[in-house]
A and B are shown apart, each in its own frame.
Chain A
Amino acid sequence: MNDNQSLNLLDRALGLDQQSRTWPLSGRVVLIEDSVETTASFVLHHLIKRSLSSNSSNVIVFVAFANPFSHYDRVLRKLGCNLVTQRDNNRFFFLDMLMLQCPDGDEGKSEVGLVSLYEKIRKTISLLPEDKKSHVTVMIDDISLVEVAANGASDYVLDFLHYCHALTSEFGCSLVTLNHKDIYSNTEMPTFILQMEYLADILVKAEPLATGLAADVHGQLTVLNKATSLALGSSRNKVHNFHFKVKENSVEYFYPGSRG
Chain B
Amino acid sequence: MQYEDIFQNPNLIKRRSVMKKQCTKQYSKTWSPYLQNSQIFCKARVLSLVAATETPPTMAETICRTLRDGGLDGEHAPALVIKDSVASPFGLDVFSHVLTKLSNYILAGKSQSRGLVVVAFRRSPSFYVNLLKERGIDVNHKWVRILDCYTDPFDWKERLNVKEHSQEASTLSSFCKDVRDLDKLYSSIVELGKGLIGQEKGRFSVAIDLVSEMLRHASISSVANLISNLRSHDQVSSIFWLLHSDLHEVRVSTVLEYLSSMVASLEPINATTIGQKGDLENLSLLEQNFRKGKFHVRFKRRNGRVRVMCEELHVELSGINFTSVSSEDGIINQRFLPKVQFSLQLSEKEQTERAKVVLPFEHQGNGKPIQIYDGRRSISENKNEETLVSTGKLQTDEDTGKGEIIYFRDSDDEMPDSDEDPDDDLDI
* A interface residues with partner B (beta carbon < 8 Å): 115, 118-119, 122, 155, 158-159, 162-163, 166, 169-170, 181, 185, 189, 191, 194-195, 197-198, 205, 207-210, 220, 222, 224, 226, 229-230, 232-233, 235-239, 241, 256
B270 to chain A, nearest CB (A): 13
- Complexed CA–CA distance, A169 and B124 (Å): 7
Report A-chain residues with C-beta under 8 Å of the C-beta of B131: 229-230
A239–B244 contact, CB under 8 A?
no
Please report whether the interface of chain A is mostly helix, strand, loop or mixed according to DSSP. mixed
Q: Is B287 an interface residue (CB 8 A)?
A: yes
Q: Which chain A positions have C-beta within 8 A of B316?
A: 236
Stretch at the interface among B63-71, B195-203, B223-231, B277-285: B277-285
Taking a contact as CB atoms under 8 Å apart, the answer to whether B127 and A222 are in contact is: no
Q: Which residues of B contact A (CB under 8 A)?
A: 86, 89, 93, 96, 123-124, 126-127, 130-131, 134, 150-154, 156, 159-160, 162, 165, 216-217, 244, 246-247, 249, 275, 277-280, 283, 286-287, 290-291, 315-319
Please state if A166 and B96 are interface contacts (CB–CB under 8 Å): no
Residues of A within 8 Å of B89, CB to CB, are 198, 226
Q: Are B275 and A185 interface neighbours, CB within 8 A?
A: yes
B319 nearest in chain A by CB position: A229
A207 engages B159 (CB within 8 Å): no
Does B86 lie within 8 Å of A194, measured CB to CB?
Answer: yes
Q: CB-nearest residue of chain B relative to A118?
A: B156
Known contacts: A210-B279, A222-B278, A229-B319. The answer to whether A166 contacts B287 by CB under 8 A is no
Contacts of B123 in A (CB 8 A): 169
Contact, CB under 8 Å: B283 / A198: no
Contact B277 A207 (CB under 8 A): yes
Residues of the B chain whose Cβ atoms lie less than 8 Å from the Cβ of A241: 278, 280, 283
Q: What is the bound-complex CA distance between A241 and B316, given in angstroms?
A: 21
Shortest distance between the CB of A128 and any CB in chain B (Å) = 14
Q: How long is the Cα–Cα vector from A237 to B151 in the complex, in angstroms?
A: 27
Task: Indicate which residue in A169, A224, A233 contacts B126 across the interface (CB closer than 8 Å).
Answer: A169
**Closest chain B residue, CB of each to CB of A256:** B280
Beta-carbon contact of B165 and A237 below 8 Å? no
A122–B159 Cα gap in the complex (Å)? Answer: 13
Tell me, in angstroms, the Cα distance from A224 to B86 when the chains sit together.
12
Residues of A within 8 A of B165 (CB): 170
Instruction: Tell whether A195 pairs with B283 under 8 Å between CB atoms, given A118-B156, A163-B156, A241-B278.
Output: no
A208 CA / B93 CA spacing, docked (Å): 33
Min C-beta distance of A8 to chain B, whole Å = 19
Contact of B291 with A237 in the complex, beta carbons under 8 Å:
yes
Chain B hits for A169, CB < 8 A: 123-124, 126-127, 150
Known interface pairs A198-B89, A222-B278; A166-B124 also in contact (CB < 8 Å): yes
Residues of A within 8 A of B130 (CB): 230
| B317 & A194 in contact (Cβ 8 Å cutoff) | no
CB distance from A195 to the nearest CB of B (A): 7
Given the known A-B contacts A163-B156, A194-B247, A210-B278, are A232 and B134 also in contact in the complex, defined by CB atoms under 8 Å?
A: yes
